Amino acid sequence: MILIADSGSTKIDWCFKSSKEDYRIVNTKGINPFYQNKEEISHTIEEVLNMCPSPEKIYFYGAGCTKEKSSIIYDIFSTLVPSCKTIEVDSDLLGAAKAACGLKAGIAAILGTGSNSCEYDGNSIVKNIPPLGFILGDEGSGAVLGKKFVADGMKSILSKDIFDKFLDEYGLSVSVIMDKVYREPFPNRFLASLCPFLNKNRDNEEIHNLLVNSFREFFNRNIKKYNYSEYDVNFVGSIGYHFKDEVKEAAEIESIKTGSFIKSPMEGLIDFCS
């Protein structure tokens, strides 16, 4: 049995694979070693290993799995599954690049709860502009879209009608939003959870402009740091997938060529990991 994980901050897709045709996918809450301690991560992994107790190979591609942090995930797996022959822990970005670009060189972009990007040579990442998280970066991500939306609403930059509609629909108030962002855990998840409202109201001119301008910012602060004139930009993640029209509009304005849009990289990873 092979265990494959595509881990974001919000959720993880796990694949229990016996063969290319015989596999099962389950979902759990997300893991990010930048935001969680070892005990919290271990609890989530233990739940999965109860469903797949003795994998022979483990491939884990995860948000926050930098060289410094990936050892946390590796140590947990090696402790819980000491008989496992292969344990590979790498960034969600490499997983996304493999899924979106395959063996071809290109630019891969993650647009989910967070955002990231890289230039990929068909095997490995050759250049990566650091995403920096939703406070310093993560342009175009669900967390930043949510942040911009509520910030504009609370500063009366958005029209009162659309923001009041949002507050009523989500049962929120300005004080509750402040608590969720500044006092409660995982503010990035909370902010990204507001994106279904943006999706449902994307025809609203203010929201449309917020989306397109956010994706333009992602292109200017990230993608244009690569050799973007030579390669297509391929997108992985729920934000890129659901807001494909606005991403394409922003790309056209910035003279950027778009390639594939994939909601989840798991399908590609199933083929890659054997």
Residue ranges making up the domain that contains 59? 2-96+267-272
pLDDT tens digit sequence for 194-208: 999 999 999 999 999
Residue 130 lies inside a defined structural domain of this protein: no
Q: How many domains does the chain have?
A: 1
pLDDT at 92 over 90: no
46-77 per-position pLDDT tens digit: 999 988 778 999 999 988 888 888 999 999 99
In a domain, 14, yes or no: yes
Query: With the C-alpha atoms ordered 25, 109, 274, 20, is the resulting torsion angle positive or negative?
Result: positive
Query: What single-letter amino acid sits at 87?
Result: I
Give the range among 43-52, 167-176, 220-229, 239-248 with minimum mean pLDDT.
Answer: 43-52
pLDDT at 85: 87
- Whether 65 maps to a domain, the answer reads yes
What is the separation of C-alpha 113 from the centre of its chain, rounded to a whole number of angstroms? 5
Is 70 inside a domain boundary?
Answer: yes
What pTM was computed for the model? 0.80
Mean of all residue pLDDT scores within the chain: 92
> Considering the domain boundaries, does residue 241 fall inside one?
no
User: What's the mean pLDDT in 77-95?
Assistant: 91
* Structural domain contains residue 53: yes
Q: What digits encode the pLDDT tens for the residues 113-155? A: 889 999 999 889 999 999 988 899 999 999 999 999 999 999 9
pLDDT of res. 35? 81
Specify if 214 maps to a domain.
no
Q: What is the CATH number of the domain that holds 64?
A: 3.30.420.40
Sheet containing strand 125-127, strands side by side: 125-127, 115-120, 106-111, 233-236, 258-262
**Within-domain flag for 23:** yes
